[in-house]
Amino acid sequence: MEDESTPTIKLVTMDRAAACTIFTRSDGKEARFPLVPSPFEDTSVIARLDFSPALAALLATTLSGDQVLFEMPLAGAVDQLAGRLVVYLDQNQWSLLSNASHGAPTSSEAERASALRLREWVDPSRIVLPASAGHYYETGKRFSTDKRYDLGLTILQYSRGWQMRDPLQVRRNELHDSFCRRVDRPGNMRKAPVFTLDPDALHSPTRWTGAAAGAEMPSTFQKHVVFQLEALVAASSSIDAMLDTQRVGEGPDTGWTAASQRFSDWLDELDQDSQQKRRAIDIHLVVDLQRELAEEAAAADISKELFQRWGFKGWVRAIGESPAVGLFREILQSRHLNKGTRWRPNDLTDMIYLSCAAGYADFVVCEKHMRDPLQHGLRRMGRSTPVYRRLIDAVAAIEKALEATSVPADSTQ
């Protein structure tokens, strides 16, 4: 049992204006250390960070006085969702929520009421509205500094630190675990939660180049201290990056849009039925995922001989039985089979993030052009994630789900 007479750290504060880090103990005493060099860039809007170890919470205050509260991950915790419903909002829905939250004249009374309702469910921990790396990227591209700040602030305040794991990592985990199930090695499965507070879950390690950022932790640090520090760095960096005043660029053209258009145009000219074309699309997808398939099979300790013996059908089976990458496959087939499909640069982002969300979330809200193929793909996979085009409709459905899961106060009497 912990000795209550021994002072503990109750609050850690990083104060930009005072240029110091303050450790406050349970007995009221403080220790101050110079914040040199300052970790805050000129484009940062963070004025102060307050971390409470006891509450497992991080509070960020901006230069304009706005505040963002993040839940922090607990070392060793298996599931911190604690039964909360997961509602994934596409970027256009976050924009609507931001406009409603900040009183934009374009918002209707119904939209403002829906935004308020979501906030009422987030604060008492009844639902989770996770942010994704796609949200960070789309927000950072906005030209208006003020609108970018409002949107970023809305996403941070409503998500409260909850993230959707990078879809590229989710699909790797799915393939890995599918291979483990195939050879009956359940103990080797990763089973990493898709919606999580885990530090750095937003970005897959496969996206990193060069050495990992940040200094190594001293070897004398206990594991839970290292975890806590990593979580703090990840959370504060996420908040700082989302609200940074410098706009991010569009990024390089990967050629994916043009390649997809050529493939669709080629399929349109083929004198084949839909099943034959589906096989062609599967071949196209397997070629695209060949590195992930091979690397995750190796990580699952699948021999080269067995992997080759499984062949194309075995690889497609691993893809098709996985919630996220399987749904991505269905959407890809639907889009390619639709004659005259025109591919846009943002289609890949929409497909990857929304297929991951719909594979695991309780509710998804997105634009119509993605809702229809998502619903079609979910039906083909025998899954039933509700996908909505309008936030108002989603809020009504969420309310019903919350009512159905609520336990009456006198139920134990």
- Give how far the C-alpha of residue 14 lies from the chain's centroid of Cα atoms, to the nearest Å: 27
Q: Which of 209, 206, 215, 245 is nearest to 233 (CA)?
A: 215
Lowest-confidence segment of 14-23, 175-184, 200-209, 240-249 by average pLDDT:
200-209
Strands 30-34 and 20-25, by their bridges, are antiparallel
Tell me the residue type at 185: R
Tell me the residue type at 389: R
Q: Is the pLDDT score of 210 beyond 70? A: no
Return d(Cα 72, Cα 400) in angstroms, integer: 29
**pLDDT digit string, tens, across residues 252-263:** 888 999 999 999
Q: Considering the domain boundaries, does residue 223 fall inside one?
A: yes
Check whether residue 223 and residue 293 sit in a common domain: no
**pLDDT digit string, tens, across residues 365-380:** 999 999 999 999 999 9
pLDDT band at 249 (very low <50, low <70, confident <90, very high): confident
Return d(Cα 371, Cα 385) in angstroms, integer: 11
Check whether residue 271 and residue 321 sit in a common domain: yes
Check whether residue 124 and residue 46 sit in a common domain: yes
Tell me the C-alpha to C-alpha distance, in Å, between residue 358 and each of 188, 238, 376: 25, 24, 12
Helical axes 274-288 vs 323-337, angle rounded to 10°: 130
CB 382 within 8 A of CB 359: no
304-343 CB burial, b ≥16 within 10 A, e <16:
eeebeebeeebbbebbbebbbbbbbbbbbbbbbeeeebeb
Q: Considering the domain boundaries, does residue 66 fall inside one?
A: yes
| Average pLDDT of the residues of the chain | 91
pLDDT at 408: 44
Return d(Cα 123, Cα 411) in angstroms, integer: 25
Q: Considering the domain boundaries, does residue 251 fall inside one?
A: no
Check whether residue 239 and residue 105 sit in a common domain: yes
Q: Considering the domain boundaries, does residue 50 fall inside one?
A: yes
Check whether residue 84 and residue 226 sit in a common domain: yes
pLDDT, mean of residues 155-163: 97
The tokens for 69 are: 């509260």
pLDDT at 3: 55
pTM score > 0.95 for this model? no
Q: Which of 86, 233, 218, 93 is nearest to 162 (CA)?
A: 86
Domain membership of residue 266 as a residue range: 256-405
CB 268 within 8 A of CB 340: yes
pLDDT at 413: 35
Check whether residue 221 and residue 263 sit in a common domain: no
Check whether residue 221 and residue 284 sit in a common domain: no
Q: Which of the two residues, 37 and 163, has the higher pLDDT score? A: 163
Check whether residue 234 and residue 330 sit in a common domain: no
Start-to-end CA span in the chain (Å): 35
Beta bridge partners of 71: 57
Any idea what DSSP says for residue 188? G
pLDDT band at 4 (very low <50, low <70, confident <90, very high): low
DSSP-based three-state secondary structure for 21: strand
Burial of 209 (0-12, 13-18, 19+ CB in 10 A): exposed
The tokens for 17 are: 């204006």
Q: Which of 102, 162, 156, 103 is nearest to 127 (CA)?
A: 162
Percent of the residues in the chain that have a pLDDT greater than 90, as a whole number: 77
Check whether residue 287 and residue 238 sit in a common domain: no
Helical axes 391-405 vs 91-101, angle rounded to 10°: 90
Q: Considering the domain boundaries, does residue 126 fall inside one?
A: yes
Phi/psi of residue 225, each to 5°?
A: -70, -45
Q: Is the pLDDT score of 411 beyond 60? A: no
Helix boundaries (H) for 222-343: 223-243, 256-269, 274-288, 290-299, 304-320, 323-337
- Number of domains forming the structure of the chain: 2
pLDDT at 220: 66
Check whether residue 351 and residue 379 sit in a common domain: yes
Q: Is the pLDDT score of 238 beyond 70? A: yes
Tell me the residue type at 181: R
Lowest-confidence segment of 20-24, 248-252, 270-274, 276-280 by average pLDDT:
248-252
Sign of CA dihedral 117, 371, 356, 166: negative
Check whether residue 265 and residue 385 sit in a common domain: yes
CB 293 within 8 A of CB 318: yes
Q: Considering the domain boundaries, does residue 11 fall inside one?
A: no
Percent of the residues in the chain that have a pLDDT greater than 70, as a whole number: 94
**pLDDT digit string, tens, across residues 284-335:** 999 999 999 999 999 999 999 999 999 999 999 999 999 999 999 999 999 9
Return d(Cα 293, Cα 124) in angstroms, integer: 41
Check whether residue 264 and residue 341 sit in a common domain: yes
Q: Considering the domain boundaries, does residue 8 fall inside one?
A: no
- Provide CB contacts within 8 A for 293, sequence distance 6+: 175, 286, 315, 318
Helix boundaries (H) for 50-203: 91-101, 109-122, 133-140, 145-159, 167-182
pLDDT at 67: 98
Q: Considering the domain boundaries, does residue 211 fall inside one?
A: no
